[in-house]
Amino acid sequence: MKKTKLKIDYDYDFQLYGIVTNAREYKLAWSINKGLKINLVKQKDILIPMANQGDLTITNLLFETENSSLRLIGNRSVGSSDGGKANLIPELSNFTHFFVVRDEGDNFGSQELIRLLKAISVIDYLTLIEIDKLKNKDNLIF
């Protein structure tokens, strides 16, 4: 019997910024809120079932407007049995958080956003990540 596979190409219509910080998540969120003049609000954690690792529980903070959404997510699983060593994007394990920006109204220009985020003292390193080059980019679909 012949099997057919359904292949779906997802449109990654957002920008992904990798963040390295030693600050706790609430302090990072507070600093981003203050620096960008937004209001990231804690949402229900994202539960991602992984075939070989069990489930990943990823922290999730969100700010939404009519035309855009900004989401701060953790890269490391919280409350896992492996001590939080499982990562949302394993090939980017050096990043502690990701900042996901969906902006249909161009309210947050890429260069201006990078400048504002780099000015936040608790962020040790920040970079724009090319999503198409990621092996596990499907983990960002939730």
The pLDDT of residue 48 is: 79
Output 137 or 99, whichever has higher pLDDT.
Answer: 99
| Angle value at C-alpha 77, between 71 and 83, nearest 5 degrees | 150
Cα gap 60→111, rounded to integer Å = 24
Other beta carbons less than 10 A from residue 117's beta carbon: 17
Residue type, 49: P
pLDDT confidence of residue 6 = 66
The predicted model gives 91-106 an average pLDDT of 85
Residue with tokens 């080059």: 133
Fold of 15-140: TATA-Binding Protein (3.30.310)
Q: Where are the domains of the chain?
A: 15-140
Instruction: Compute φ and ψ for 119, nearest 5 degrees.
Output: -75, -10
Q: What is the pLDDT of residue 75?
A: 87
